[in-house]
Amino acid sequence: MGLGLLLPASLAWAFTVSYDQTVRMGSEESQSKVVIRDRMFRIEQTVDTHLRVTVRNPRGIFVYYPQDSIGAQINAMDASQRQLLDHAANFPEYLRRQNARLVTEESIRELACEVYLVEDRSAGDPMKVWLWKEEHFPLRLQVISGRGKITVDLRNIQLGVSAPAALFELPIGLKLTDPDTLRAFKPRQVEVPQPVADADISG
């Protein structure tokens, strides 16, 4: 099929999707839930038992810890995720503009995919994409960077989900600091009540 079948450009601003994401680099692995609406996105990730949220809205990109009401504005996302977050509404068109080369066809979880290679270094690090043929949406991305191979796997993809604008707004009362301070910040530990031992009633 190739990239000749593209989504209409008119859909680009009425696009919503949610999915579960696993990012692997060497022995490291992280999981998150992603919701995208047009150019906005929300990523929820648990880090050391603490929820960390990343959102992009018309004001910029922000990272915050809801339970501590602290966050910071950041300049950009990691390259392994940026291409998908920026071009999710019409990923085949993005691949066409990058002169992506169709190298083979494979299946992921029994879903037929076209596998493309993006080698244009002006677009960033070389990237391999498994594009779901039925929905024209990536199921896997693989980036070869200076840090090594980064693989992003997508599951539970739901196109056209409800994604109200409020989902991408910052919570009321959030304190914004600078990125360096947030990186050094230690989320507060939530104390878990210990079970009370049975009273000694022998006497």
Per-residue pLDDT of the chain (203 residues), as tens digits, is 566 545 444 444 569 999 999 999 989 999 999 999 999 999 999 988 889 999 999 999 999 999 999 999 999 887 768 889 999 999 999 999 999 999 999 999 999 999 999 987 665 678 999 999 999 999 999 998 777 899 999 999 999 999 999 999 999 999 999 999 998 888 765 444 455 544 444 44
Q: What is the pLDDT of residues 144-155, one digit of tens each?
A: 877 789 999 999
What does the pLDDT read at residue 2? Answer: 62
pLDDT, position 83: 87
8 A C-beta contact, residue 182 and residue 61? no
| Distances, alpha carbon 178 to alpha carbons 38, 43, 75, in Å | 27, 20, 11
Structure tokens, 131 = 């594009």
Nearest to 83 by CA among 29, 25, 145, 30: 145
Q: What pLDDT is attached to residue 10?
A: 42
DSSP code for 3: T
Amino acid found at 79: A
Beta-carbon count within 10 A of 57 CB: 17
Report DSSP letters for 97-109, one per residue.
HTT-EEEEEEEET
Given this model, what pLDDT does residue 58 score?
96
Asked if residue 41 lies in contact with residue 57, where contact means CB atoms within 8 angstroms, the answer is no
Question: Which of 62, 94, 80 has the alpha carbon at shortest distance from 179?
Answer: 62
Give the pLDDT confidence score for residue 145 in this predicted structure.
77
Domain 9-184, CATH number (from 2.50.20.10, 1.10.3720.10, 1.10.1740.10, 1.10.357.10): 2.50.20.10
First to last CA, the chain: 82
What one-character DSSP code corresponds to residue 88?
G
The pLDDT score that the predictor gives to residue 122 is: 64
